[in-house]
Amino acid sequence: MKTIFSGIKPTGTVTLGNYIGAMKHFVNLQDEHDAYYCIVDLHSITVEIDRVELMNNTRALAALYIASGLDPEKATIFVQSEVKAHAQLGWMLTCLSGMGELERMTQYKDKSQGKDRIGAGLFVYPTLMAADILLYDAELVPVGDDQKQHIELTRDLAQRFNSRYYETFKMPEPVIAETGARIMSLTTPEKKMSKTDTNPKGYISMLDAPDVIRKKIKSAVTDSEGIVRFDREQKPGVSNLLEIYSLLADIPIKELEAKYDGLNYGVFKADVAEVIVAELEPIQQRYYDLIDSEELDLILDQGRDKADLVASRKLAKVEKAMGLQRKR
């Protein structure tokens, strides 16, 4: 049994990319491991976000975690800002990190590009993420491809801390699946599907109604070849749809290529849409049952208490190691 930590930002809507790249793995890993799954709201304020929207998103993401199959009996589900040690360790790790290594983070470069004003929070974001992981001695961190560099930085910071002070942190490993770790946008399949995309046609939201899903898949960008085959370079749109289909229906891509041999994109796309609808409909039903329930609050209260116990203990060790104590 290993310790797992992962999180999703309650910024915007949760997409099919988040589900395939992260949430589905969260569910698979909870049976055999000690898992902590966090709604990382402190990460959401690194960019400007309306306070009511953030509160709503936080609750919605918690409900989606559970509706997607996370079991509070097996995994600890909690809201990051409710466990104060995250922000505290985040600061300590910020002090341990260098401007140069933070400037190298590609996600920071992407998100700050072309902006007049770049928030300092966006810049130090990866040190908070490192704190999330290290507080729980997480050994495995299931994420999509875009978070790999942040986990490498987490390892560097853990190593630096351990050698500068004393052995305090465990080295986490990313868990990144071979397929589905980078689901692409439906409108620009060279870019990843993102919850902050300004064009909603680019992503499938976990809460999109069946007809919206059908429309979005129907208008997904493909190519003019007319053959359903996997080729990420030449046919990013079709390959993305094949990957989604394969992962949700659990059918190898080769078999799908054979199944649609000689058939047009219209038939293929209609089936992709049905596979997505079949996966999301039951999740949405559970979501609507949970969203206004007291049960959801009880789960989050319990999760917070358990996480807080573990995180506070670790934080006390870090404070001691760094000399953040009065001499007595």
Q: 11 labelled as ligand-binding?
A: yes
Residues 129-148, mask of contacts with ligand TYM (x by CB under 6 A): x--xx-------x-xx-xx-
Q: How many other C-beta atoms can be found within 10 angstroms of the C-beta atom of residue 27? A: 19
Strand-by-strand arrangement of the 34-39 sheet: 75-79, 34-39, 3-8, 140-142, 173-175
| 111 is annotated as an active-site residue | yes
Query: DSSP code of 13?
Result: P
Q: State the catalytic residue, choosing from 111, 216, 269, 314.
A: 111
| 192 is annotated as an active-site residue | yes
Q: 223 labelled as ligand-binding?
A: no
Q: Is 182 in the site for ligand TYM (CB under 6 A)?
A: yes
Please pick, from the candidates 39, 40, 66, 247, the single residue that binds ligand TYM as defined by CB under 6 A: 40
Please give the backbone phi and psi of residue 162, each rounded to the nearest 5 degrees, phi first. Answer: -60, -35
Q: 200 labelled as ligand-binding?
A: no
Do 192 and 17 meet the contact criterion of CB atoms below 8 Å apart? yes
| 195 is annotated as an active-site residue | yes
Please pick, from the candidates 4, 22, 75, 321, the single residue that binds ligand TYM as defined by CB under 6 A: 22
The residues that bridge with 205 in the sheet, in sequence order, are 15
Query: DSSP code of 83?
Result: S
Q: State the catalytic residue, choosing from 115, 148, 191, 195.
A: 195
Which residues are within 8 A (CB) of 312 and not within 5 positions of it... i.e. 6 or more apart? 85
Q: 94 labelled as ligand-binding?
A: no
Please pick, from the candidates 3, 4, 13, 17, the single residue that binds ligand TYM as defined by CB under 6 A: 17
Q: State the catalytic residue, choosing from 192, 216, 235, 314.
A: 192
Q: 146 labelled as ligand-binding?
A: yes
Query: DSSP code of 139?
Result: S
Do 39 and 174 meet the contact criterion of CB atoms below 8 Å apart? no
Which residue is associated with the tokens 């729980």? 136
- The nearer residue to ligand TYM, 40 or 273, going by C-beta atoms, is 40
Binding site for ligand TYM (CB under 6 A): 5-9, 17-18, 20-22, 40, 43, 129, 132-133, 141, 143-144, 146-147, 150, 181-183, 192-193
Give the residue numbers of the binding site for ATP: 9-11, 17-18, 144-146, 183
Catalytic positions = 111, 192, 195
